[in-house]
Amino acid sequence: MTDTPANPFEALMRQTQEMTETWVKSLNPALASFTPSTMDKMWPTVPAEMLEAFLGRQFNPGGLEAKTRLLLTLLGLTIQGAVAEAQIRLTVRHAIAAGATRQEVAETIGLAALFGGVPAMNKAMELATEALDTEGKA
């Protein structure tokens, strides 16, 4: 029992990295440097038309549009404590693609402070700024 790592997630991550380096690397070299925190960089920003088709009023004409659904998703992710870093960055990118403004993203995250606390809001705002800055450079 002495060779058991203190953190089982560390052992799992190490095993996953080893698998990636051996056989997964031959399938997709981009996965060789994969970490969960950079998952959002591997996922492209979906065009606004597709977001509206799948998240918007396509199947529910009287319902919410994609932009509102994405801002609500961002609110929920922030309230959870901003632990889903890649998902927050990805949701911010998609909200902007769906027509949300930087101000709307900031107000959504700010509103989440009422329910999730100021530390969660600060972390989400930092992640959103990072996503917006990266998206602006692309």
Nearest in space to 88 (alpha carbons), one of 77, 104, 99, 72: 77
- The first and second tokens of residue 12, run together, are 């799992």
Sequence-distant (≥ 6) Cβ neighbours of residue 121 within 8 angstroms: 78, 82, 109, 110, 112, 113
Per-residue pLDDT reduced to its tens digit, 110-121: 999 999 999 999
Residue-wise DSSP of 17-45? HHHIIIIIHHH-GGGGG--GGGGGGGSPP
Is residue 106 a contact partner of residue 65, using CB atoms and an 8 Å limit? no
Q: Homologous superfamily of 38-137 in CATH?
A: AhpD-like (1.20.1290.10)
For 9-50, what is each residue's pLDDT tens digit? 888 888 877 876 776 667 666 656 666 666 666 666 767 777
> What pLDDT does 127 receive?
92
Q: pLDDT value at position 99?
A: 93
Domain spans in the chain, listed from the N-terminal domain onward? 1-34, 38-137
Dihedral, CA atoms, 100, 104, 106, 110, nearest 10 degrees? -140
What pLDDT sits at residue 93?
Answer: 93
Q: How big is the chain, counted in residues?
A: 138
Cα distances from 21 to residues 8, 9, 16, 47, in angstroms, run 20, 18, 9, 33
- pTM equals 0.67
Indicate if the pLDDT at residue 128 is higher than 90. Answer: yes
- pLDDT tens readout for residues 46-103: 677 777 767 776 777 788 888 999 999 999 999 998 688 889 999 999 999 999 999 9
Per-residue pLDDT, 36: 63
- What pLDDT score was predicted for residue 13? 83
Contacts of 42 (CB under 8 A, 6+ apart): 30, 34
Give the pLDDT confidence score for residue 118 in this predicted structure.
92
